[in-house]
């Protein structure tokens, strides 16, 4: 057990409890054991946090870019100093292997570093006027109070990817982490507290997602909401934002295709497919959900993939060498079982896996490969958050691109080929916000991350990520002479 009662509500520079002193349990998905209690906050707590952020915005927005960046630099260093501790907490509450948690802490810290630097590159514009006595300027200014809602699958990295650019831009933040994994977010808030971030600039409220989210969306003080999560919830937030005309950044679901062309490096494609699909037990928004393999190399690809997947170690993420951890909860496990069952019933060939793993009591599912998959199966149309790979054979380049685009999602797509013309041509035709060519790890702090279609709007990371938290004020100055 990490702690009996973790700090969970931080408002105006002070840790506090809820009015009714309610708490909720945090459970390790690998063991189904309680590891902590966290305050069960409500909309009232979020209202207090918003008011604190609003008050702090008056002064924080006037800090120089260098002053704001100094806090991000300090938080970056402290996060790296505490990597082992933070990784341990992450694994206990989320389930992923420790090796992956360490990687996530490095990834999370990279956003603090990048936006510490990017804070100093928030440039305006001078526009050449058509009239001699006019001077036209565009001045970037922080949008105001930002509401950040983060997911459970990357509970550290998704916090810094939102908080860092908001703070760099001069905004103040109210943070609502996923109720399954609030401990990582709490630790990050502690870090900012320790580096001396002014009161009210960053606030966190854990607890009831409905009432907290409603207050965030209804309160007209909040001018921007940034959310990572399901497309269903993202659509709901879009509707709720209409009443106060909030600005939204949405990073939603995905259904990533991975295309292996006949001329691909098969060993590379196999290794990358495994890294993409089975990382975090398949619980990532850009992980491979459908693999299209050219018919001439399908059996060789399947043979190599199956041999490696069968050797993967499943278990508690705290155990050295674990490659596949648990799913986040029973509901997630049930959905994966339903999708696999539907595919097998409709004629899919189960090459390996296809069943739960009786481990230390958590929500484990064996890494699974399905061949002979057809479009009548739900796994080909629904996002799969689990360690399951459906394989589809193809013969024609144009047809496979059409099939890859046959989804309402448009977050990420991957392709493997040694032909540069094919790579560029296919990339241009894929209807996705992110395309990886011989690469399944496109995420990096310095590049824009985001989808199209029903996978969201806006970008995170890069200079585009900073722009999300800025308003462009146009200034027209008329001179007397």
Active site residues: 251, 285
List the structure tokens of 473: 């004020």
Q: Three-class SS of residue 284? A: coil
Geometric angle at alpha carbon 84, from 206 and 460, rounded to 5°:
55
- Of 215, 153, 197, nearest to 383 by C-alpha is 153
Q: Three-class SS of residue 142? A: strand
The rounded distance, in Å, linking the Cα atoms of 384 and 218 is: 32
Other Cβ atoms closer than 10 A to 379 = 25
Give the CA-trace dihedral at 462, 465, 469, 475, to 10 degrees.
60
The rounded distance, in Å, linking the Cα atoms of 275 and 278 is: 6
The rounded distance, in Å, linking the Cα atoms of 282 and 410 is: 18
Contacts of 299 (CB under 8 A, 6+ apart): none
- Residue 69's Cβ-count burial label (10 Å; 0-12, 13-18, 19+) is buried
- How many C-alpha atoms does 75 have within 13 Å on its Cβ side? 31
Geometric angle at alpha carbon 82, from 78 and 87, rounded to 5°:
130
- Of 153, 168, 159, nearest to 186 by C-alpha is 159
Is residue 92 within 8 Å of residue 110, measured between CB atoms? no
Q: Residue 459 to residues 97, 148, 436, 450, 471: CA-CA distances in angstroms?
A: 28, 14, 17, 5, 15
Other Cβ atoms closer than 10 A to 143 = 21
H helix or E strand, kind and range, residue 39: strand 33-39
């Amino acid at each position: 057990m990490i702690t009996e009662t973790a700090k969970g509500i931080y408002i105006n520079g002070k840790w506090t409890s809820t009015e009714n002193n309610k708490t909720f349990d945090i459970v390790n998905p690998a063991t189904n054991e309680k590891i902590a209690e966290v305050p069960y906050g409500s909309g009232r707590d979020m209202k207090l946090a918003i008011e604190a952020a609003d008050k702090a915005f008056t002064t924080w927005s006037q800090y120089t870019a260098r002053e704001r960046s100094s806090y991000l630099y300090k938080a970056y260093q402290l996060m790296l100093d505490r990597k082992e501790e933070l990784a341990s907490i992450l694994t206990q509450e989320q389930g992923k292997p420790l090796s992956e948690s360490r990687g996530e802490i490095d990834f999370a810290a990279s956003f603090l570093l990048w936006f510490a630097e990017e804070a100093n590159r928030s440039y305006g514009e001078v526009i050449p006027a058509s009239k001699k006595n006019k001077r036209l300027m565009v001045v970037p200014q922080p949008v105001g109070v930002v509401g950040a809602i983060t997911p459970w699958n990357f509970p550290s990295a998704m916090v810094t990817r939102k908080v860092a650019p908001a703070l760099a831009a001069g905004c103040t933040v109210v943070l609502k982490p996923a109720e399954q994994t609030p401990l990582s977010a709490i630790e990050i808030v502690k870090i900012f507290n320790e580096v001396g971030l002014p009161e009210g600039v960053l606030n966190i409220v854990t607890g009831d997602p409905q009432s907290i989210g409603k207050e965030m969306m209804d309160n007209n003080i909040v001018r921007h909401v940034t959310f990572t999560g399901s497309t269903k919830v993202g659509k709901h937030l879009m509707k709720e934002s209409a009443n106060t005309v909030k600005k939204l950044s949405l990073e939603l679901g995905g259904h990533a295709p991975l295309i292996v062309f006949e001329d691909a490096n098969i060993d590379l494609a196999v290794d990358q497919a495994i890294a993409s699909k089975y990382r975090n037990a398949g619980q990532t928004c850009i992980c491979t959900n459908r693999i299209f393999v050219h018919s001439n190399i399908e059996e060789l690809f399947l043979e190599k993939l199956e041999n490696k997947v069968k050797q993967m170690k499943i278990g508690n993420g705290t155990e050295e060498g674990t490659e596949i951890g648990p799913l986040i909860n029973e509901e997630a496990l049930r959905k994966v079982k339903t999708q696999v069952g539907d595919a097998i019933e409709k004629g899919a060939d189960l090459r390996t896996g296809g069943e739960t793993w009786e481990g230390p009591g958590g929500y484990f599912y064996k890494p699974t490969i399905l061949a002979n998959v057809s479009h009548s199966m739900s796994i080909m149309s629904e996002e799969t958050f689990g360690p399951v790979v459906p394989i589809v054979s193809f013969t024609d380049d144009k047809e496979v691109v059409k099939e890859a685009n046959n989804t309402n999602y448009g977050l990420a797509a991957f392709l493997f080929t040694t032909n540069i013309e094919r790579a560029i041509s296919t990339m241009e035709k894929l209807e996705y916000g992110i395309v990886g060519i011989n690469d399944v790890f496109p995420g990096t702090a310095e590049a824009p991350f985001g989808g199209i279609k029903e996978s969201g709007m806006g970008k995170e990371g890069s200079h585009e990520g900073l722009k999300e938290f800025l308003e462009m004020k146009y200034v027209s100055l008329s001179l007397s002479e």
